[in-house]
Protein backbone atom coordinates (compact mmCIF):
# COMPACT_ATOMS: atom_id res chain seq x y z
CA UNK A 1 0.00 0.00 0.00
CA UNK A 2 1.38 3.42 -0.98
CA UNK A 3 2.20 5.75 1.87
CA UNK A 4 0.37 9.05 2.05
CA UNK A 5 2.62 11.96 1.06
CA UNK A 6 0.32 14.75 2.27
CA UNK A 7 -1.90 15.55 5.21
CA UNK A 8 -5.60 14.65 5.31
CA UNK A 9 -6.64 18.19 4.28
CA UNK A 10 -4.64 18.00 1.05
CA UNK A 11 -5.83 14.45 0.38
CA UNK A 12 -9.43 15.67 0.82
CA UNK A 13 -8.79 18.48 -1.71
CA UNK A 14 -7.42 15.92 -4.19
CA UNK A 15 -10.40 13.60 -3.67
CA UNK A 16 -12.88 16.43 -4.28
CA UNK A 17 -11.06 17.62 -7.40
CA UNK A 18 -11.01 14.04 -8.73
CA UNK A 19 -14.84 14.07 -8.75
CA UNK A 20 -14.88 16.80 -11.41
CA UNK A 21 -15.50 15.62 -14.98
CA UNK A 22 -12.29 15.13 -16.94
CA UNK A 23 -10.10 14.90 -13.84
CA UNK A 24 -8.77 11.55 -12.69
CA UNK A 25 -6.65 10.99 -9.56
CA UNK A 26 -3.39 12.03 -11.26
CA UNK A 27 -4.87 15.16 -12.84
CA UNK A 28 -6.51 16.03 -9.51
CA UNK A 29 -3.12 15.77 -7.76
CA UNK A 30 -1.54 18.11 -10.33
CA UNK A 31 -4.45 20.56 -10.00
CA UNK A 32 -4.26 20.48 -6.18
CA UNK A 33 -0.51 21.06 -6.24
CA UNK A 34 -0.94 23.99 -8.64
CA UNK A 35 -3.65 25.52 -6.43
CA UNK A 36 -1.48 25.15 -3.34
CA UNK A 37 1.54 26.70 -5.04
CA UNK A 38 -0.58 29.64 -6.26
CA UNK A 39 -2.52 30.04 -3.02
CA UNK A 40 -2.77 33.85 -3.04
CA UNK A 41 -3.23 34.33 -6.79
CA UNK A 42 -5.58 31.39 -7.44
CA UNK A 43 -6.85 29.48 -4.43
CA UNK A 44 -8.12 32.46 -2.42
CA UNK A 45 -10.09 34.00 -5.32
CA UNK A 46 -11.40 30.55 -6.28
CA UNK A 47 -12.62 29.95 -2.73
CA UNK A 48 -14.37 33.32 -2.77
CA UNK A 49 -15.97 32.63 -6.18
CA UNK A 50 -17.21 29.22 -5.00
CA UNK A 51 -18.81 30.79 -1.92
CA UNK A 52 -20.55 33.42 -4.05
CA UNK A 53 -21.79 30.62 -6.34
CA UNK A 54 -23.17 28.71 -3.35
CA UNK A 55 -24.93 31.81 -2.02
CA UNK A 56 -26.25 33.42 -5.19
CA UNK A 57 -26.65 30.96 -8.06
CA UNK A 58 -30.16 29.60 -8.54
CA UNK A 59 -32.22 27.74 -11.12
CA UNK A 60 -34.45 29.93 -13.30
CA UNK A 61 -38.11 29.21 -12.53
CA UNK A 62 -39.07 29.89 -16.17
CA UNK A 63 -36.54 28.00 -18.29
CA UNK A 64 -34.27 26.00 -15.95
CA UNK A 65 -31.07 27.92 -16.75
CA UNK A 66 -28.73 28.77 -13.88
CA UNK A 67 -28.01 32.39 -13.02
CA UNK A 68 -27.68 34.80 -10.13
CA UNK A 69 -31.13 36.22 -10.86
CA UNK A 70 -34.53 34.60 -11.19
CA UNK A 71 -35.92 34.73 -13.91
CA UNK A 72 -32.53 34.47 -15.59
CA UNK A 73 -30.75 36.96 -17.85
CA UNK A 74 -31.91 35.16 -21.01
CA UNK A 75 -35.59 35.10 -19.97
CA UNK A 76 -35.60 38.80 -19.02
CA UNK A 77 -33.72 40.02 -22.12
CA UNK A 78 -36.25 42.10 -24.13
CA UNK A 79 -34.25 41.53 -27.34
CA UNK A 80 -35.07 37.80 -27.28
CA UNK A 81 -37.76 36.45 -29.56
CA UNK A 82 -40.57 35.18 -27.28
CA UNK A 83 -42.17 33.21 -30.14
CA UNK A 84 -39.32 30.65 -30.20
CA UNK A 85 -38.47 28.18 -27.42
CA UNK A 86 -35.32 26.10 -27.87
CA UNK A 87 -35.51 22.86 -25.87
CA UNK A 88 -32.21 21.49 -24.54
CA UNK A 89 -31.40 18.59 -22.24
CA UNK A 90 -28.89 20.40 -20.04
CA UNK A 91 -27.59 23.87 -19.17
CA UNK A 92 -24.30 22.95 -20.91
CA UNK A 93 -26.25 22.63 -24.18
CA UNK A 94 -27.81 26.06 -23.64
CA UNK A 95 -24.36 27.56 -23.06
CA UNK A 96 -23.04 25.85 -26.22
CA UNK A 97 -25.83 27.36 -28.35
CA UNK A 98 -25.21 30.77 -26.80
CA UNK A 99 -21.46 30.53 -27.51
CA UNK A 100 -22.29 29.81 -31.14
CA UNK A 101 -24.79 32.70 -31.20
CA UNK A 102 -27.07 30.18 -32.90
CA UNK A 103 -30.48 31.53 -31.85
CA UNK A 104 -32.25 34.60 -30.55
CA UNK A 105 -35.06 32.58 -28.99
CA UNK A 106 -35.73 31.67 -25.40
CA UNK A 107 -34.81 28.31 -23.86
CA UNK A 108 -36.26 25.42 -21.91
CA UNK A 109 -33.91 23.07 -20.03
CA UNK A 110 -35.35 19.57 -19.52
CA UNK A 111 -32.74 18.51 -16.97
CA UNK A 112 -31.85 15.31 -18.89
CA UNK A 113 -33.32 13.04 -21.56
CA UNK A 114 -35.66 10.10 -21.16
CA UNK A 115 -33.66 7.00 -20.32
CA UNK A 116 -35.62 4.00 -19.01
CA UNK A 117 -32.39 2.04 -18.41
CA UNK A 118 -31.16 4.78 -16.06
CA UNK A 119 -34.56 5.21 -14.43
CA UNK A 120 -35.20 8.66 -15.96
CA UNK A 121 -38.88 9.03 -16.85
CA UNK A 122 -41.10 11.96 -17.91
CA UNK A 123 -41.77 12.85 -14.27
CA UNK A 124 -38.03 13.50 -13.77
CA UNK A 125 -37.91 16.13 -16.54
CA UNK A 126 -39.57 19.54 -16.92
CA UNK A 127 -41.76 18.35 -19.79
CA UNK A 128 -45.05 19.46 -18.17
CA UNK A 129 -43.70 23.01 -17.80
CA UNK A 130 -42.62 22.95 -21.45
CA UNK A 131 -46.08 21.90 -22.63
CA UNK A 132 -47.61 24.72 -20.57
CA UNK A 133 -45.18 27.25 -22.09
CA UNK A 134 -45.89 25.94 -25.61
CA UNK A 135 -49.58 26.79 -25.19
CA UNK A 136 -48.82 30.47 -24.52
CA UNK A 137 -50.29 32.63 -27.32
CA UNK A 138 -46.97 34.27 -28.22
CA UNK A 139 -45.15 30.95 -28.83
CA UNK A 140 -45.15 29.79 -32.47
CA UNK A 141 -42.16 27.41 -32.68
CA UNK A 142 -40.53 24.81 -30.45
CA UNK A 143 -37.02 23.83 -31.57
CA UNK A 144 -35.91 20.46 -30.17
CA UNK A 145 -32.14 20.88 -29.80
CA UNK A 146 -31.54 17.43 -28.33
CA UNK A 147 -28.61 15.09 -28.90
CA UNK A 148 -28.79 12.70 -31.85
CA UNK A 149 -28.70 9.71 -29.50
CA UNK A 150 -31.36 7.08 -28.89
CA UNK A 151 -32.36 8.81 -25.62
CA UNK A 152 -32.37 12.25 -27.26
CA UNK A 153 -34.53 11.11 -30.17
CA UNK A 154 -36.90 9.20 -27.87
CA UNK A 155 -37.35 12.36 -25.82
CA UNK A 156 -37.94 14.42 -28.98
CA UNK A 157 -40.66 12.02 -30.20
CA UNK A 158 -42.31 11.95 -26.76
CA UNK A 159 -42.42 15.77 -26.60
CA UNK A 160 -43.67 16.04 -30.20
CA UNK A 161 -46.62 13.77 -29.35
CA UNK A 162 -47.49 15.90 -26.30
CA UNK A 163 -47.40 19.10 -28.37
CA UNK A 164 -49.80 17.79 -31.03
CA UNK A 165 -52.68 19.95 -29.75
CA UNK A 166 -50.57 23.08 -29.25
CA UNK A 167 -50.67 25.67 -32.01
CA UNK A 168 -46.89 25.53 -32.57
CA UNK A 169 -44.48 24.33 -35.21
CA UNK A 170 -42.15 21.67 -33.78
CA UNK A 171 -38.73 21.53 -35.46
CA UNK A 172 -35.43 19.84 -34.68
CA UNK A 173 -31.79 20.48 -35.44
CA UNK A 174 -30.55 19.22 -38.80
CA UNK A 175 -28.45 16.06 -38.67
CA UNK A 176 -25.76 15.17 -41.13
CA UNK A 177 -22.44 16.33 -42.57
CA UNK A 178 -20.75 18.91 -40.32
CA UNK A 179 -19.24 22.09 -41.73
CA UNK A 180 -15.71 21.22 -42.83
CA UNK A 181 -16.44 17.50 -42.63
CA UNK A 182 -15.04 14.99 -45.11
CA UNK A 183 -17.35 12.18 -46.18
CA UNK A 184 -14.66 9.52 -45.86
CA UNK A 185 -14.30 10.20 -42.11
CA UNK A 186 -18.02 10.18 -41.22
CA UNK A 187 -19.85 7.23 -39.73
CA UNK A 188 -22.66 5.46 -41.59
CA UNK A 189 -25.41 6.88 -39.34
CA UNK A 190 -24.33 10.47 -40.02
CA UNK A 191 -24.12 9.85 -43.77
CA UNK A 192 -27.56 8.20 -43.83
CA UNK A 193 -29.11 11.10 -41.90
CA UNK A 194 -27.46 13.62 -44.23
CA UNK A 195 -28.78 11.82 -47.31
CA UNK A 196 -32.33 11.58 -45.92
CA UNK A 197 -32.40 15.25 -44.93
CA UNK A 198 -30.84 16.68 -48.07
CA UNK A 199 -31.99 20.16 -49.13
CA UNK A 200 -32.07 22.21 -52.34
CA UNK A 201 -28.73 23.76 -53.31
Is 60 exceeded by the pLDDT of residue 168? yes
Same domain for 165 and 70: yes
Nearest to 86 by CA among 59, 66, 109, 65: 109
The values of phi and psi at residue 151, to 5°, are: -65, -40
Under 8 Å between Cβ of 19 and 29: no
Same domain for 70 and 17: no
Same domain for 124 and 32: no
Q: What is the pTM of this model?
A: 0.83
Same domain for 85 and 159: yes
Long-range contacts of 130-138 (CB under 8 A, 24+ apart): 130/85, 130/87, 130/159, 131/162, 131/163, 131/166, 133/85, 133/108, 134/85, 134/163, 134/166, 134/168, 135/166, 135/167, 138/82, 138/83
Does residue 30 lie within any of the structural domains? yes
Same domain for 117 and 34: no
25: CATH: 1.10.8.420
Q: Provide the β-strand partners of residue 108.
A: 87
Nearest to 168 by CA among 128, 136, 127: 136
Same domain for 118 and 98: yes
Same domain for 112 and 70: yes
Helices and strands (H and E) in the chain: how many: 8, 6
Under 8 Å between Cβ of 149 and 113: yes
Q: What is the pLDDT of residue 78?
A: 96
Same domain for 123 and 71: yes
Does residue 37 lie within any of the structural domains? yes
Is 80 exceeded by the pLDDT of residue 201? no
- Calculate mean pLDDT across residues 69-78: 96
pLDDT, mean over the chain? 91
Residue predicted with more confidence, 36 or 201: 36
pLDDT in tens, 45-62: 999 999 999 999 999 999
| Structural domain boundaries enclosing 156 | 66-172
- Pairing type for strands 66-67 and 58-59 reads antiparallel
How many independent structural domains does the chain possess?
2
Does residue 195 lie within any of the structural domains? no
Same domain for 87 and 162: yes
Amino acid sequence: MAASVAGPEIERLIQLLARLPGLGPRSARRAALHLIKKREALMTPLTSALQVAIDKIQVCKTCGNIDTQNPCTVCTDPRRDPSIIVVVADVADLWALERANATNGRYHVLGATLSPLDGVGPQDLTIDQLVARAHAPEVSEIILALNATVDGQTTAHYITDLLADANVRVTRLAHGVPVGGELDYLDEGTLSAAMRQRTLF
